[in-house]
């Protein structure tokens, strides 16, 4: 689990990632516990931390999250890299 260090705009990007995750979870009408189970983590506090923008969505969970929400894994990985400052967004 990687904590948010709140530097270089990270907290805003982390919140954006958390809002995306929460929005998807609510759209699909599943609880944090159900998502944790589907993602194979069994720890609701991890899902809660991600949604609050305090924890990075681990790379090891991205495939399961993409599958749970029927999104393209590569697109989710790209978004995570932007949200977590590992890559910058392409110019529009």
| Average predicted confidence (pLDDT) for the chain | 86
| Bigger pLDDT: 79 vs 43 | 79
DSSP characters over 41-65: ---HHHHHHHHTTSB---HHHHHHH
pLDDT surpasses 80 at 88: no
pLDDT over threshold 70, residue 89: no
Residue 72 has pLDDT above 90, yes or no: yes
Dist CA 2 CA 31 (whole Å)? 22
pTM here is 0.81
The pLDDT tens digits of the residues spanning 18-48 come to: 999 999 999 999 999 999 999 988 889 999 9
């Amino acid at each position: 689990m990687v904590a948010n260090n709140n530097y270089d705009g990270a907290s805003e990007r982390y919140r954006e990632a958390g809002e995306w995750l929460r929005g998807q979870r609510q759209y699909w009408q599943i609880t944090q516990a159900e998502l944790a189970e589907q993602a194979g983590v069994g720890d609701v506090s991890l899902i809660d931390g991600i949604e609050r923008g305090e924890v990075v969505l681990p790379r090891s969970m991205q495939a399961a999250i993409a599958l749970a929400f029927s999104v393209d894994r590569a697109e989710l990985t790209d978004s995570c890299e932007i949200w977590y400052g590992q890559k910058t967004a392409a110019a529009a």
